[in-house]
Amino acid sequence: MQKNWIGKSYGCEVDFPMADGNGAIKVFTTRQDTLFGATFMLVAAEHPLVMELAKGKSSEKEVVQFVEKVKKQDKLMRTSEYYEKEGLFLESYCKNPLTGKQMPIYAANFVLADYGTGCVMAVPTHDQRDFEFAKKFNLPLIVVIQPKNKKLDPATMTEAYVDEGILVNSGQFDGMENTKVLDAIADFLEAQGSGKRTIQYRLRDWGISRQRYWGAPIPMINCDKCGIVPVPEKDLPVILPENVKLSSEGGSPLAALKEFAETKCPKCGGMAKRETDTMDTFVESSWYFDRFCCPDFDNKPGLERKKLDYWMPVDQYIGGVEHAILHLLYARFYTKMLRDFGVIGVDEPFTNLLTQGMVCKETMKCSEHGYLFPEQAAEGKCHLCQKEVIIGKTEKMSKSLKNVIDPDYLIQTYGADTARIFCLFAAPPEKDLEWSDQGVEGSFRFLNRLWRIFTEYLEDIKKITTPAANMTLEGEWKNIRRKTHQTIRKVTVDIEDRFHFNTAISAVMELVNAIYLVERPAKEDAEALSVIREALEAAVVLLAPIVPHIAEELWQILGHKTAVCDASWPEFNEAIASEEEITIVIQINGKLRSRMTVPVGENTEKIKADALADVKIKALLEDVSVKKVIYVPNKLVNIVVAQ
């Protein structure tokens, strides 16, 4: 159903003149190629035209009953393929604007008043629902699209033909492909004045009232005498009472609260009832970000153009996939409305969207006691009956499946930082994340490793400053420094561009490993220690957004007087970060055959010669003649040989 919430279709609005000369029925169609096959007209039962046409006719009473019956049917069910198609002849006719033939008009249950114009031209030969209806009411069938491989005969058709084909029984359009004739027929309708091209936009109604306590009150009063009366502006806002009794009974608890529900009608002064439904929370969440830009602004509607011009649009929207249609759609709709009112200057509320994945975990079940929480299934046994636990599918964490982890337990056992780094490390944010106890353990171990390397070096690097940009280094210290700057570069790009905290974290892990692997410098080796200090400082600042608690602690013990969250993001030096050697791929006719490392900036001819001299390549080139050697700088050498 949701796929039909919004949409845009290109088609024609076609006039079907009434047979008695009184006006015309307008129909929206995207299938004007089938217009010559339209043999009857269907009108949504609740469409006002139905009662208009039935008025004074012999079947008027029957029509009233039919309409009442259809109104009670579920809209979604009515239009489904399998629902019984019901209809009633309205004793009226219109005319097909292309054939001039009379078309009987029916009220039908499977046409909806809020779709298109609420009237549908029925082409029984090429629409399955129309076909079933025509069979039931014995209405004429005219084939207008013939498939290429067989010949359709209305007398023997058992279902509608809904695929492509060639037009027949369609006047001057005969012989054309139905997919290519749409424009020609649209032109013809426009020329003869019986139709025009149009675009139909669909936006399903949004029922904003909810029978519940939370949500903004709907400022309306129901009076028996005056109907629905808005709460006067001076009495706004209507404030929710706090002394409601929440029960599990359903319905709004506000209705039971007399001092809220009972009020006076602002119009006649008589006793009246306040609306006790509240608004869907999407109503306010569709524009709260605008209000956040100017929370102190008192003029109605509480939105200050100057501030909105400064802050809006929102740079980044992060939300679960469940927001992809509803909240995003409503928020955009609000923005466009506020723009049209001149309240806001932007067309779109959000610049970027990140749809995060879900946290998933395997489910656990006891054959007798059903789903089990992880703590009820210790060591693979049900806590109640000691039966073997059945490990089920990995599913989105939910209370009903009991495949949830209590964050309090994690925080008590490992601390909040472990929980945070595990979640961010386990998957890129747009992917689902599979919970893993080993992963949590691993994250905990990494934070411990980080802590240890700090404490090991702390005394030696406390009074050391980081190296100057132009410090000349050799060997492993040069390598560590390069790694530090490469790590800063990678983490910056991964987080800034893609929110890929997982690869950012693994880069910092590599840096920490590299520090572990290097031989510990002597206490007097200030140069080497300054490289270590730079590396450790970078690691802390880079991890601070991910594991703020441990990062703050480490930052302090390094001797900083200000908080790490106030420290500026580290900058990398491109020259220091750049590799001295690069790996070049060697291809033969575009296929990867070998690799080699070359110094950065090596001359092209030398690289080509080295590629041809590569041991593996040499062997492969023995019996073939080389036609061309192409070098794509810093990437690959492709050797083109005669096949």
Which positions touch Zn ion (CB under 5 A)? 223, 225-226, 265, 267-268, 366, 368-369, 382, 384-385, 387
Question: Who contacts 348 (Cβ-Cβ below 8 Å, separation ≥6)?
Answer: 313, 332, 335
From the list 434, 574, 570, the residue with the least C-alpha distance to 502 is: 434
Q: Is the dihedral of CA 117, 118, 124, 127 positive or negative?
A: positive
Minimum distance from residue 387 beta carbon to Zn ion (Å): 5
d(CA 304, CA 296): 9
From the list 114, 123, 41, the residue with the least C-alpha distance to 79 is: 114
d(CA 486, CA 490): 6
Residues 372-407: b if buried by 16+ CB within 10 A, e if exposed? bebebbeeeebeeeeeebeeeeeeebeeebbbebee
Minimum distance from residue 274 beta carbon to Zn ion (Å): 13
d(CA 403, CA 390): 13
Residues 104-126: b if buried by 16+ CB within 10 A, e if exposed? bbbbbbbbbbebbbbbbbbbbbb
Minimum distance from residue 263 beta carbon to Zn ion (Å): 11
Minimum distance from residue 379 beta carbon to Zn ion (Å): 13
d(CA 354, CA 343): 27
Minimum distance from residue 382 beta carbon to Zn ion (Å): 3
Strands 390-396 and 370-371: unpaired
Residue 267 or 336: the one with the smaller Cβ distance to Zn ion is: 267
Q: In degrees rounded to 5, what are phi and psi of residue 68?
A: -60, -40
Tokens 């904003």 locate to 208
Residue 41 or 389: the one with the smaller Cβ distance to Zn ion is: 389
Residue 182 or 226: the one with the smaller Cβ distance to Zn ion is: 226
Residue 268 or 613: the one with the smaller Cβ distance to Zn ion is: 268
Question: Who contacts 378 (Cβ-Cβ below 8 Å, separation ≥6)?
Answer: none
Residue 136 or 387: the one with the smaller Cβ distance to Zn ion is: 387
Minimum distance from residue 392 beta carbon to Zn ion (Å): 14
Residue 223 or 509: the one with the smaller Cβ distance to Zn ion is: 223
N residues, the chain: 643
CB atoms within 10 A of CB 609: 12
In the three-class reduction of DSSP (H, G, I as helix; E, B as strand; rest coil), residue 274 is classed as strand
Residue 135 or 369: the one with the smaller Cβ distance to Zn ion is: 369
Minimum distance from residue 365 beta carbon to Zn ion (Å): 9
In degrees, rounded to 5, the angle at the alpha carbon of residue 226 between the alpha carbons of residues 221 and 228 is 35
d(CA 643, CA 625): 9
Minimum distance from residue 231 beta carbon to Zn ion (Å): 13
Residue 111 or 382: the one with the smaller Cβ distance to Zn ion is: 382
- Three-class HEC string of 3-17: HHCEEEEEEEEEEEE
In the three-class reduction of DSSP (H, G, I as helix; E, B as strand; rest coil), residue 432 is classed as coil
Minimum distance from residue 437 beta carbon to Zn ion (Å): 21
Preceding omega of 313 cis (within 30 degrees of 0): yes
Helices (H) and strands (E) counted in the chain, each on its own, are 20, 25
In the three-class reduction of DSSP (H, G, I as helix; E, B as strand; rest coil), residue 392 is classed as strand
CA dihedral defined by 421, 425, 428, 433, rounded to 10 degrees?
A: -90
Minimum distance from residue 362 beta carbon to Zn ion (Å): 17
Residue 74 or 368: the one with the smaller Cβ distance to Zn ion is: 368
Minimum distance from residue 223 beta carbon to Zn ion (Å): 3
Minimum distance from residue 380 beta carbon to Zn ion (Å): 12
Residue 354 or 385: the one with the smaller Cβ distance to Zn ion is: 385
Question: Who contacts 200 (Cβ-Cβ below 8 Å, separation ≥6)?
Answer: 8, 9, 11, 28, 116
Residue 136 or 225: the one with the smaller Cβ distance to Zn ion is: 225
Alpha helices in 107-230 (DSSP H): 128-137, 182-192
Minimum distance from residue 81 beta carbon to Zn ion (Å): 44
Residue 205 or 233: the one with the smaller Cβ distance to Zn ion is: 233
Rounded to whole angstroms, the maximal C-alpha distance in the chain is 110
Residue 162 or 268: the one with the smaller Cβ distance to Zn ion is: 268
